[in-house]
Structure 1
Amino acid sequence: MADLTAEQGIRLRRPSAIRSLRLGDTKVSYLPDGEVRLRPLALLKDSTAEVWAAHPEYLDATGHLVGSVGGLLVEHGDRALLIDTGFGPRTLEAPEGPLGAIRGGALPESLAALGRTPADIEAVAFTHLHSDHLGWACHTAPGTQELLFAHADHLISEAEWAGRHLLVEQGMSAEVAALAPRVRTVADGQEVFPGVRVRITPGHTVGHAEYVITGGGRRLIAFGDAVHSPIQIDHPEWSSGFDHDQALTAGHRRRLVAELAEPDTIGFGVHFADVVFGRVQQDGTGPAWRPVDA
């Protein structure tokens, strides 16, 4: 396997800044909210210390896997859809388990940097109901008592919303209450925005959803937490410690990696450090995940 360039190695060890792509008349942009540091052996339990020693480019100086936290802005003309809303204005550190630390809070500034306001977002589509994806949907706008996206429909897969009792059991009843008045459930294959269709892919959660965005002869698959790190593209059998059904998500991930290798297909990995957009190239000359910047 070929060595990474120095720039590629740097990008794998830092969270992503704003990055945008064009799909014909549709523009997609990663909106940073913050970053996450993960314990690699706890996150990917089938990996080994030897694997990580051979791939130090993925780890920071403290041995943590570096990830991004944010959302995907989809713009079509004057219209705008947001997929996931980051972690929100808070920081959390965990003494054990896959999560080392996570912080958010930057998403409103990221939105403003692209010339948009929260009021421009007609709907928020969620991949799943974990706190690092619900984020700003459950927090007030800075300096106000109003939820940041209170005006927008909240699109959640039918199966995921039906399983919201799992959130309540995890102490997230306040988040469920904040979401409930705005929820509109969506079904597999449904078009939720021009050129954007939902695809239900259970495994990470009971009703996890991906969003397939097409335009200009290309398609982008926003695959949520079906994959947490680019190294899983080379090892799709490695499921995450956060996955609800590890065998189910491993099977889906194998199919997803094959699909991402098809022509004119781009992936979006919301937690993929500073390589959130990429394509899969399995030619034996380097890591299969190759960043796409235009």
Structure 2
Amino acid sequence: MAELTVDHGIRLRRAAGIRSIRLGETKVSYVPDGDVRLRPVPLLQDSTDEVWAAHPEYLDSAGHLVGSVGGLLVEHGDRALLIDTGFGPQTLEAPDGPLATIHGGALPQSLAELGRRPEDIEAVAFTHLHSDHIGWACHAAPGGAQPVFTHAEYLVSEQEWDRRDLLEAQGMTEQVAALAPRVRTITDGREIFPGVRVRITPGHTVGHAEYVITGGGRRLIAFGDAVHSPIQIDHPEWSAAFDHDRTLTADHRRRLVAELAEPDTIGFGVHFADVQFGHVRQGGDGPAWRALDA
């Protein structure tokens, strides 16, 4: 396996723009909303300063791990599904801890650039209910009082919704209330859209969901926050500070990395800077995560 190219190294340090791939008759596109900057050792507490000194390609000039924030648009004919809705029109800065800064706001414009209006979205499927994944589902459309996704139902894993008290305990009562009228719970293995099945993978949250999209002889696994950074593909034992159950998440991540190395399998990491669509190539002399178009 080749060493990192200059382009690939640059892409690890910048948030992603719109990118699309095709799986047969299905088009899948990343819909940018904003970006997040994370403190690497507080985020991945089993890593060390020495590790990051050896891998400066992941860090910006302030020493922060760079991540993207947004959603995944799945289009099949005239129909459209959105997986996650970014952080929404807000910015947050934290003086310490794993999160340094996060901001959103671009998702409606990104949808427009992809030729879609929010009212075209028939359903929004969530990987989980953290604020950087439900943002626009809890905010009114710019300049109005109506929800952004006027025709969409909100698909949430049954386990996740049953434990929404955990979110309320974290101060997210208003967000839970905003979601509630539109929520429809889903269970493991269910097809929610042509070629899209949910699988429940607890660990990051109690009911974290992944979505497997198949078409054209290939499959794409949108794995949400089971993995936050491409470096975890090389170190699946490193769980994130945000994980509800770090041991359970690490066990799942090991299985996921092996699955992503299988033929005709693509991964989608929503927070993976500008290398979100990729393959796993193990046993080489470079990083295991390889951007799809690198």
TM-score, normalisation: structure 2: 0.99
Deviations 1:100-147 (A, max 9, x none): 000000000000001100010000000001000001000011111111
Deviations 1:75-95 (A, max 9, x none): 000000000000000000001
Distance 1:284 1:267 in 2: 18
Distance 1:145 1:283 in 2: 53
Q: Which structure 2 residues correspond to residues 1-294 of structure 1 after superposition, within 5 A?
A: 3-293=3-293
Deviations 1:243-266 (A, max 9, x none): 000000000000000000000000
Deviations 1:26-81 (A, max 9, x none): 00000000000000000000001111000000000000000000000000000000
Once the 2 structures are TM-superposed, how far is the Cα of residue 284 of structure 1 from its aligned partner?
1.5
What SS does the corresponding residue of 2:34 show, helix, strand or coil?
strand
5+ long unaligned stretches in structure 1: none
Once the 2 structures are TM-superposed, how far is the Cα of residue 14 of structure 1 from its aligned partner?
0.0
Do the aligned partners of 1:21 and 1:293 also contact (CA within 8 Å) in 2? no
Identity of aligned residues (%): 79
Do the aligned partners of 1:34 and 1:104 also contact (CA within 8 Å) in 2? yes
Distance 1:58 1:3 in 2: 15
Distance 2:87 2:293 in 1: 25
Give, as a single letter, the amino acid of the residue that structure 2 aligns with 1:40.
P
Do the aligned partners of 1:20 and 1:293 also contact (CA within 8 Å) in 2? no
Distance 1:211 1:156 in 2: 12
Distance 2:89 2:146 in 1: 14
Distance 2:249 2:40 in 1: 18
Regions of 4+ moved over 3 Å: none
What SS does the corresponding residue of 2:8 show, helix, strand or coil?
helix
Once the 2 structures are TM-superposed, how far is the Cα of residue 2 of structure 1 from its aligned partner?
5.3
Do the aligned partners of 1:71 and 1:83 also contact (CA within 8 Å) in 2? yes
Deviations 1:154-173 (A, max 9, x none): 00000000010111111111
Do the aligned partners of 1:44 and 1:239 also contact (CA within 8 Å) in 2? yes
Do the aligned partners of 1:79 and 1:122 also contact (CA within 8 Å) in 2? yes
Distance 2:293 2:104 in 1: 24
Do the aligned partners of 1:150 and 1:182 also contact (CA within 8 Å) in 2? no
5+ long unaligned stretches in structure 2: none
Give, as a single letter, the amino acid of the residue that structure 2 aligns with 1:50.
E
Do the aligned partners of 2:218 and 2:264 also contact (CA within 8 Å) in 1? yes
Distance 2:197 2:252 in 1: 18
TM-score, normalisation: structure 1: 0.99
What SS does the corresponding residue of 2:73 show, helix, strand or coil?
strand
What SS does the corresponding residue of 1:220 show, helix, strand or coil?
strand
What SS does the corresponding residue of 2:46 show, helix, strand or coil?
coil
Once the 2 structures are TM-superposed, how far is the Cα of residue 6 of structure 1 from its aligned partner?
0.7
Moved more, 113-122 or 2-11: 2-11
Deviations 1:139-198 (A, max 9, x none): 011111111013211000000000101111111111011100000000000000000000
Do the aligned partners of 1:218 and 1:265 also contact (CA within 8 Å) in 2? yes
Distance 1:293 1:192 in 2: 28
Do the aligned partners of 2:120 and 2:151 also contact (CA within 8 Å) in 1? no
CA RMSD of aligned residues (A): 1.0
Do the aligned partners of 1:19 and 1:293 also contact (CA within 8 Å) in 2? no
Moved more, 148-157 or 124-133: 148-157
